[in-house]
Structure 1
């Protein structure tokens, strides 16, 4: 009985390695009915061995199948090992031996879509592998084309792409965006603008809904180019990777802020949202290769706060008050994280009792009454980053 099999893969780069793995799971689903994972990766660096976890199939093989990957360099695959103590794996070996020759040619294009809720619909935008279109007065649809091995594989990849696109849209519209599985209205939207009309041709007032004209959301041309690149590629350059991380954290802050509507929760929302927003600044201020390490202790030697101040000077060169407020918030965030000092978001009037600290100095009282200032400011930082530091292909 063959309960241990080794498949020689010999792939050195991460992109090809992931294609091989996706193709393998797809072929297992096709041959054995399903491939249900208990994913629990564990890396043993000294042995250059990764334990991915275990999976079960529907027919022909009983029990769980353990999976290990050996590698010579990170991101590649030398061999994939499958182990099952109770069943014969010869049929699995036969199935997987053909993956290496087929993992490229078996890819096929499928369309996947998701609905999102917003106060207004988004105008029609049509790209090579993505389109965004209105459904009704409060919903839009994102449709993307994915190269995949089967529907399950495509759904997984599509979900990753959707999440990035939705985070990007939330950061541009400064608004939490929800996914919806239902049509909230049946009335269609009559558009007086042609498809792919970009926001760049309009003037927007700071008092308007951001990027809204005639109750329609418009997209900047560069943003839609970025969305196209995200859908068509699986690997991104340094700046685009940072943008993806930053908009995810920004959207998380918007979601946390939304929790304030739940009045029965005992939670200090303000510190959590400020921590998220200031983390966005840290991500956006990163530059490729700017991390230097001490030769003796190997710790990073640059000042993150200095880097953030430099970035804010680029974004708001003539807005000293805004920079001062954001720098103060950044310092307060650090004090909250490292010494447990909460940020006070109350008003000065009828809210506190003046008193002394343990020494003779006045008790420090730091007030930041938001009213959207932080959300808008960090949103403007993301917009600056998109305009000046992202160069989509």
Structure 2
């Protein structure tokens, strides 16, 4: 069965496919997949796999295209020899009707409400934006209420997971605090009488906390959450890049939070003195300690990578005059960014961190000593500028604060 679609952009093509699979599920009661994508069988044709809609046979589904990312025709065929579905088969006309319905119903979304709970070391102060609302559930739990639009539960469920993860990743940048997603059965929630904001526009040290009671957002942070949680999604390449940078930062922060405290106070690289009273958090940290002994190295790599992604926003590259390849100049862009928001001295120190990260990735040089001791033992190292062995090559608290500060300044200047 060949049906003309005639869509000429990847975004519109995917929107049609989302609507189509949802319509299949509505009509037949299910739309499962043996998903085996392949585009090598026939020129300009992409084979999705075999669709299970609960009829007498699986159905081979494929599309043809003129340009990559577009759909010229869609094909529904019998699986053995990719023969056309006979018109005599009961579901032939039903499939054709579903495709026509999908064409008509593109953009006709249903709305679904979600209320996931996240866990922090203190409750997040309560806020109500245009597209979200927060509630304090317990001493460490905060509920986010927001709406997601989509074609069916399957699709909006995945979108809701994506949204809350993006929220957690952004909040980690906004507050410097590690955040967990939690399953929590309490239905009650409380609100503060007024919204509390971080009033220090140059906040950099420690955490965004007021009166040792509440984790707080900046006013711009509240606006950013509205952008992230807007149910009427629009393509925003700059926002997507920023959220990718937040992902790197958040992942680094979780490694950072899970550092094993096996050193003396002289050597401790984490300044997080907070006791994590929740058993679940203790389990999370215990798991992170079992990942291995490279947390400092991984966190350093990802913190610096967050800045690299940030510099891609509105980046217009040029090609090398000799070889024609793109000139990215990543470290130069990062130094410029840090110098702009902080100062040249910090930019130079991050450049030194870059060198250390490169040595870790390409030569295996660790950023922490292999033999932690209860007190410092001065030793020589001919490869160090000081001539001495350095127990901790990178100060993660400083790096974390430099990176999050630059990211906060950047989004407030460029994305709000």
Which band: TM-score by shorter chain?
0.7 to 0.9
Q: Distance in 2 between matches of 1:217 and 1:109?
A: 30
Residue 281 in structure 1 maps to residue 275 in structure 2 = no
TM-score by length of 2: 0.79
Structure-2 separation of matches of 1:362 and 1:12: 63
| 1:222–1:79 distance in 2 versus 1, CA, 3 Å | farther
The Cα of 1:247 is off from its aligned counterpart by 0.2
Which of 156, 162, 165 aligns to 2:164? It is 162
SS of residue in 2 equivalent to 1:145: strand
| More displaced 10-residue stretch of structure 1: 81-90 or 94-103 | 81-90
- Tell me what 1:67 maps to: 61
Which structure 1 residue ranges, 5 or more long, are not aligned? Answer: none
- The aligned counterpart of 2:148 is 146
RMSD: 3.2
Higher deviation after alignment, 382-391 or 200-209? 200-209
Paired position in structure 2 for 1:256 = 255
CA distance in 2, matches of 1:289, 1:186: 46
1:176-191 correspondence runs (5 A): 176-183=178-185, 189=190, 191=192
Cα drift, residue 167 of structure 1 = 1.0
CA contact (8 A) 2:115 2:145 kept: yes
Superposed, 1:186-201 pairs within 5 Å as 189=190, 191=192, 193-194=193-194, 197=195, 199-201=197-199
Tell me by how many angstroms 1:309 deviates. Answer: 0.9
2:224 to 199, 223, 226: 226
Confirm whether residue 36 of structure 1 aligns to residue 32 of structure 2: yes
Once the two structures are superposed, what CA deviation does each residue of 1:231-265 show, in whole Å capped at 9, x if it has no partner?
33434434312211100111111222344344455
Measure the CA separation in 2 of the matches of 1:83 and 1:259.
52
What residue is the counterpart of 1:272 in the other structure?
Answer: 298
SS in 2 for 1:199: coil
3-state secondary structure, aligned to 2:318: coil
Report the 3-state secondary structure (helix = DSSP H, G, I; strand = E; otherwise coil) of the residue aligned with 2:169. Answer: helix
Aligned-pair CA distance for 1:220: 1.9
Verify: 1:245 aligned to 2:244, yes or no: yes
Equivalent position of 1:175 in the other structure: 177
Partner Cα separation in structure 1 for residue 36 and residue 323 of structure 2: 32
The one of 40, 48, 53 equivalent to 1:52 is 48
Residue 402 of structure 2 corresponds to which residue in structure 1?
377
Partner of 2:78: 84
C-alpha displacement at 1:338, in angstroms? 2.9
Task: Identify if the C-alpha distance between structure 1 residues 61 and 177 changes in structure 2 by more than 3 Å, giving closer, same or farther.
Answer: farther
Instruction: Report the count of equivalent residues.
Output: 375
- Partner SS for 1:97: helix
Counterpart CA distance in 2 for 1:273 and 1:254 is 7
Cα displacement string for residues 60-93 of structure 1 (whole angstroms, at most 9, x for unaligned residues): 2433x33323333344322222333267561323
> Structure 1 residues 275-284 or 224-233, which shifts more?
224-233
SS of residue paired to 1:248: helix
How has the CA–CA distance of structure 1 residues 144 and 42 changed in structure 2, closer, same or farther, with 3 Å as cutoff? farther
Indicate if the aligned counterparts of 1:137 and 1:187 stay in contact, CA closer than 8 A: no
Q: Deviations over 1:102-149 (max 9, x none)?
A: 2233x2222122111112222332233322222222111122212222
